Structure 1
Amino acid sequence: MLAPLSTPGGRAALTRLGCLVAVLATVGLLPWLSGRDPALTVLRARSAEQEGTPEALAAIRADLGLDAGPLSLLGSWASGLPRGDFGTSWVSGTDVLPSVVSGLQVSLALMGAALAVALLITCLIVAPVLVRGRGSAGSFAAMLAALPEFLLATVVLLVGGVWLGWLPTSGWLGPQYMILPAVALGVPAGGLLGRLVADALPAVLEERWVELWRGAGVNKARISAAALRRVLPPLVPQFGMVAVGLTGGAVAVEAVFAIPGIGRTALGAAKSQDLPLLQGAVLALLALGLVTGAAAAVVRRRLLGPALRDAGLSLPASRPVRAHPAVPAVLGLVLLTCIGWGLLRDPYTVDTTARLQAPSWAYPLGTDGLGRDVLARLGHGAASTVGTAAAVCLASLLLALAIGFLPSLTTGASDIANALPPVIVGILVAAAAGPGTGGAALAVALISWPPLAAHAAALVQEVRASTFLLTQRAIGASPLWILTRHVLPSVAAPVTRHALLRLPGIALALASLGFLGLGAQPPAPEWGLLLDESRAYVERAPWAALAPAVALALLAGLAVSSAAFAEGGARTGPSRTRLALTALRPRKEPAR
């Protein structure tokens, strides 16, 4: 039964529907949101030499129905979707649907292979916990989960394909072409799934029913199977988020290995301004994410069964990942040293006589294909990337604090935002505003606020249910006084710390967009762009690719170790702080 609109569930459903309609309208209006004349774009796609005369442009508008206006074309596009009519490609002149279906089949095969790799990694991480009955995934699984797919794809291509020559490095001609991409896409997902399950298992294995089963002589295999069934229902939504993340990661992996999947199709359509093909590809990716989330909800309900379906099921508190306080300090010191050293050097000087030089005293990290100093470009790129990430982090924090006081709005909008990986939003923003640093920052900001907003909403509910606020109301304190002196300070401080911990992850997301050509443009020294530029000569000068790759790996390690250290401290602190890095669930009772 659908929830009434007056209830929180009904308002969340209405917000979810409104956000979905807004996303679909944005996709449908891409020809006008781009700021370019759609008829001129079609003319350039069909014939670059033909002059854009008013007569030629008018003929194209009449042929494609562009003269009817944006709203009319949006209605025509939306009405054709149920019939399978996705429009006609502006570049090739062919129907969009066959290209979308073909790319989607390739991507689904890749994601299936990646999911198999992820499950294998998950089993390897979880097995020691089931055997010993204690322990946790540790920092190793967290490090695997933090590795960006585009970085891991570059590394496995360099090692397994170029240096060792074991497997092909590009194309899609047989099962052997699937191995390296599946590893690059599946290892981070397996690290995340393994950590979630392995961190929750020790607490479950200490529950009373496990002790009773052991006393009754139940064998260990059956207890392990029951413990896994106990662990899975609360984690299934996280599994769905991992599957959604595969759709975004597949774009980068398909670009690295030249795989003709739906992600690479969308990326190519955005760069060539083939907006009908881009609309179809993005719509397919969005539908894939939403279907995955819905399937996760169905699986969770099936695992819970009718007895617990309404009440839900939560896990005991998992043990935090152990991280020595010196780890983030050491990683940060190494990064700051490289950045500071590079900032003292010139990143733009071109010296063709010094092309692709190996590391030396003159060039500590070597030179790139134009003879530019890699260390200098690494240092200046870090400064711009971290600065942009800080601005995005601040914008996300302010938005989260603003809508955290509206839990129903937060829940509905977060569901849609979580179904859109940064790469997909980056493709849409690049199609509308063109690639660049500003567009990449906007794309990351649009999807980086949901975790912070969920954190803020949970804290607001907890503070509002506390006893001291009831006392303040009883003595006649005004709502404005309570908000500014009690609620907002109690919420802002933990959420701000949470936002700062997400700063390295935001920087990695910006780097991934730069790597795909959707962010900073040449000659800007941005880390993702540096990694992309070095792929052309990776066999001759691997140090040019290894420098940004190692820097990004250090950044990922800094994100993991900082989060682990903060999580460990949060577990011993007040209940409000404890919410900072744990899986946030709607609270059903006031905090004591």
Structure 2
Amino acid sequence: MVKAALRGGAPVLVWRAVLAAVLVCGVGLLPWLSRTDPALTVLRARSAERTATPEVLDAIRAQLGLDAGPARLLGDWLGGLPRGDAGVSWISGAEVMPAVLQALGASLLLMGGALLVAAVTAAGVCARTLRLGAGRRLDERRSAGTGSAFLATLPDFLTASVLASVVGVQLGWLPALGWYGPAWMVLPALSLGLPAGALLGRLLDDLLPGAFAEPWALAAAARGVHGRTVARQALRRCVPGLLPNLGLFVVGLTGGAVAVEKIFDIPGLGRLSLQAATAQDLPVLQAGTLALVVLAAAVGGLARLAARLLIGPALRDGALPSLHRPTPSRPTTPPLLYGGLLLAVVAAGLARDPLELDTTARLRSPSWAHPFGTDALGRDVLARVGHGALDTLAVAAAVSAAALLLGVLLGLLPRFSGPLADTVNAVPPVLAALLVTAVAGSGPATPALAVTAVAWAPLAAHTSALLRQEKATTHLAATRGLGATPLQLLRHEILPAVLPPVLRHALLRLPGVALSLAALGFLGLGAQPPSPEWGLLLSENLPYVERAPWAALAPAAALALLGAVAVTAGGGVDRTRARRRHA
């Protein structure tokens, strides 16, 4: 059995190694792929005032060995890795490996704190379902509260800015700048862990009712087993379906916490990668990317091992009941209420001029004349939120639909997509945008391509995890025994069970997609001022959050409303399926 497992895992290991090599080589060729002069980029990073004369650029090329070509540079860098030598920084001249390991250590500590906060938050989101399910009153269950939907859609940089300014500066309860001990980790961990925990909690809350409706749970209830024991076993039944996404969160919180690390001045790997990417400091960028790829492979392996330990025998024997049968669920608030409120805000904003400047009314608080206040240039925030809705919603919806389609298709091929999703997730967002730009060029579609290139990974991981469990169900084995073809099994059994939770997952990530598109504006891609795109409004008004919090809270509230609409609308997917089966 062990030899068979090793033989089965060998192609996956080879595929993972190929992907890592392609990624590292792509990073090493980044300046040449993007057709920029690395000597000029390095000069600007070293000294913005120094004139880029041909003599100065030639000296930099000679110093860095750029004349030898990218293949020679990449080969020399790879040749030093077995000796623990990742070269020296093109900007500072310091050894790369100690700097990357130090940054990785800081990011791992921050990730550990964020995961602790996420676990507590997820437990709070699922508490009601666990209590009702354990008490055998599942018919009373309501979907997770709207508050968790709002929390899951909050951008981490907005949460970090509010916590830093209010809790750290104004109240002085906790330090808000630096990285000197456990107290300095609290606010950054809250900024990262609260949204992540809300998202994981909602995904877990989506699975728990199916576990409580399984025969073992019903039999335990009939025998009078204590509700807490049933709840613990239900968690054990559901957690394996989320472990791949948890692994993606671990890597994302390590290398993707760029905004939080910048706000709190944390010397982490995300911040280091951002600086190296913008300066095209290839040795640092290659070492940081390789560290994240190795971390992604290790975390992915641990997630698969944990899943096998939790429900491995049932997966092997095909003894699982289906976890995705329809269960009674009533949304706390109709999606039409949130949709109507969002539509009313957009309609009110469309009647105003989003570009009208009034320098005498800068950062005015909300009033009858300006219900959402004004920004730093005296422009009406309500008008800008309303006019930015069309671009924000249209592009975000298109990208989310493309990511869902890719995620489901690739998730149905777990051996192929598993290592690919881990590798893609290990790429910091800023680096992913630069790589897509280098390959596809800069244009109107570039931001959408860049976000789609990474947004499919968590959906594919979710699809693969659910597929693995669904294939081990008893009803699938029975249907196969009755002569159903693989295509019939896929169409009538597997997809109806897998698609609803993955679709709800995609809807929950819709506001985050909108923010990711806006974040590319910092790279000269996507929406640029004076565009009223929502994410750009957030970034423009963030520096004034202490003096005029309404300017940043208005687009954040619009994104949260979008998330509430998406989540409550997604809750109807399973109910529609339930009505069809009972018809």
Alignment TM-score > 0.5, same fold: yes
- The superposition leaves residues 181-236 of structure 1 with CA deviations (integer Å, 9 ceiling, x where unpaired) of 21121123323443444554455455555576678887666555555444444443
Gaps (5+ residues) in structure 1? 473-481, 576-592
In structure 1, distance between residues paired with 2:121 and 2:414:
36
Out of 526, 544, 551, which is 1:544 matched to?
551
Matched ranges for 1:471-550 at <5 A: 502=506, 505-512=509-516, 514-515=518-519, 517-518=522-523, 519-550=526-557
| Aligned equivalent of 2:367 | 360
In structure 2, distance between residues paired with 1:358 and 1:190:
33
Deviation, structure 1 residue 372: 2.1
Q: Does 1:262 align with 2:269?
A: yes
Are the aligned partners of 1:120 and 1:190 in contact in 2 as well (CA < 8 Å)? yes
In structure 2, distance between residues paired with 1:314 and 1:446:
34
| Aligned equivalent of 2:303 | 296
Taking structure 2 as the reference length, the TM-score comes to: 0.79
- The superposition leaves residues 40-83 of structure 1 with CA deviations (integer Å, 9 ceiling, x where unpaired) of 22222333344433343233222212112122222222223333
Are the aligned partners of 2:41 and 2:279 in contact in 1 as well (CA < 8 Å)? no
Out of 185, 189, 197, which is 1:182 matched to?
189
In structure 2, distance between residues paired with 1:219 and 1:378:
51
In structure 2, distance between residues paired with 1:222 and 1:531:
45
Amino acid at match of 1:505: R
Matched ranges for 1:31-50 at <5 A: 31-50=31-50
Larger mean Cα displacement after TM superposition, 290-299 or 78-87? 78-87
Q: Structure 1 residues 350 and 268 mapped into 2: Cα distance closer, same or farther (>3 Å)?
A: farther
Are the aligned partners of 1:146 and 1:556 in contact in 2 as well (CA < 8 Å)? yes
Q: Does 1:76 align with 2:76?
A: yes
Amino acid at match of 2:335: P
Aligned length: 557
- The superposition leaves residues 134-160 of structure 1 with CA deviations (integer Å, 9 ceiling, x where unpaired) of 456832245544444334334434543
Are the aligned partners of 1:137 and 1:199 in contact in 2 as well (CA < 8 Å)? no
Q: Does 1:276 align with 2:280?
A: no
Amino acid at match of 1:139: A
In structure 1, distance between residues paired with 2:427 and 2:320:
26
RMSD (Å) for aligned C-alpha atoms: 4.5
Q: Structure 1 residues 209 and 424 mapped into 2: Cα distance closer, same or farther (>3 Å)?
A: same
Deviation, structure 1 residue 253: 2.2
Are the aligned partners of 2:206 and 2:501 in contact in 1 as well (CA < 8 Å)? no
| Aligned equivalent of 1:477 | none
Matched ranges for 1:356-395 at <5 A: 356-393=363-400, 395=402
Q: Structure 1 residues 546 and 218 mapped into 2: Cα distance closer, same or farther (>3 Å)?
A: closer
Are the aligned partners of 2:314 and 2:320 in contact in 1 as well (CA < 8 Å)? no
Matched ranges for 1:144-183 at <5 A: 144-161=151-168, 164-183=171-190
In structure 1, distance between residues paired with 2:339 and 2:558:
11
In structure 2, distance between residues paired with 1:404 and 1:203:
21
Deviation, structure 1 residue 339: 2.4
Deviation, structure 1 residue 430: 6.8
| Aligned equivalent of 1:479 | none
Matched ranges for 1:78-117 at <5 A: 78-117=78-117
Amino acid at match of 1:336: L
Q: Structure 1 residues 30 and 273 mapped into 2: Cα distance closer, same or farther (>3 Å)?
A: same
Secondary structure at the aligned position of 1:365 is classed as: coil
In structure 2, distance between residues paired with 1:420 and 1:358:
40
| Aligned equivalent of 2:566 | 559
Matched ranges for 1:269-348 at <5 A: 269-304=276-311, 307-308=313-314, 310-311=316-317, 314=320, 316-317=322-323, 322-324=329-331, 327-348=334-355
Are the aligned partners of 1:367 and 1:373 in contact in 2 as well (CA < 8 Å)? yes
Out of 228, 234, 244, which is 1:237 matched to?
244
Amino acid at match of 2:323: A
| Aligned equivalent of 1:578 | none
Matched ranges for 1:183-202 at <5 A: 183-202=190-209
In structure 1, distance between residues paired with 2:327 and 2:431:
32
Gaps (5+ residues) in structure 2? none
Amino acid at match of 1:265: L
Amino acid at match of 2:74: L
Are the aligned partners of 1:358 and 1:365 in contact in 2 as well (CA < 8 Å)? yes
Out of 252, 257, 262, which is 2:259 matched to?
252
Are the aligned partners of 1:414 and 1:450 in contact in 2 as well (CA < 8 Å)? yes
Larger mean Cα displacement after TM superposition, 552-561 or 89-98? 89-98
Q: Structure 1 residues 499 and 315 mapped into 2: Cα distance closer, same or farther (>3 Å)?
A: closer
Larger mean Cα displacement after TM superposition, 241-250 or 211-220? 211-220
Amino acid at match of 1:511: L
Deviation, structure 1 residue 346: 3.0
In structure 2, distance between residues paired with 1:243 and 1:321:
33
| Aligned equivalent of 2:56 | 56
- The superposition leaves residues 280-304 of structure 1 with CA deviations (integer Å, 9 ceiling, x where unpaired) of 3333333333322122122223334
Amino acid at match of 1:174: G
Amino acid at match of 1:317: L
Matched ranges for 1:98-137 at <5 A: 98-126=98-126, 129-132=129-132, 133-134=134-135, 135=138
In structure 2, distance between residues paired with 1:100 and 1:295:
23
Are the aligned partners of 2:542 and 2:552 in contact in 1 as well (CA < 8 Å)? yes
Deviation, structure 1 residue 547: 0.9
Deviation, structure 1 residue 172: 2.2
Amino acid at match of 1:442: L
Are the aligned partners of 1:251 and 1:267 in contact in 2 as well (CA < 8 Å)? yes
In structure 2, distance between residues paired with 1:210 and 1:160:
44
Are the aligned partners of 1:3 and 1:10 in contact in 2 as well (CA < 8 Å)? no
| Aligned equivalent of 2:65 | 65
Secondary structure at the aligned position of 1:89 is classed as: coil
Deviation, structure 1 residue 31: 2.8
Identical residues among aligned pairs (%): 47
Deviation, structure 1 residue 544: 0.8
Amino acid at match of 2:278: K
Deviation, structure 1 residue 343: 3.1
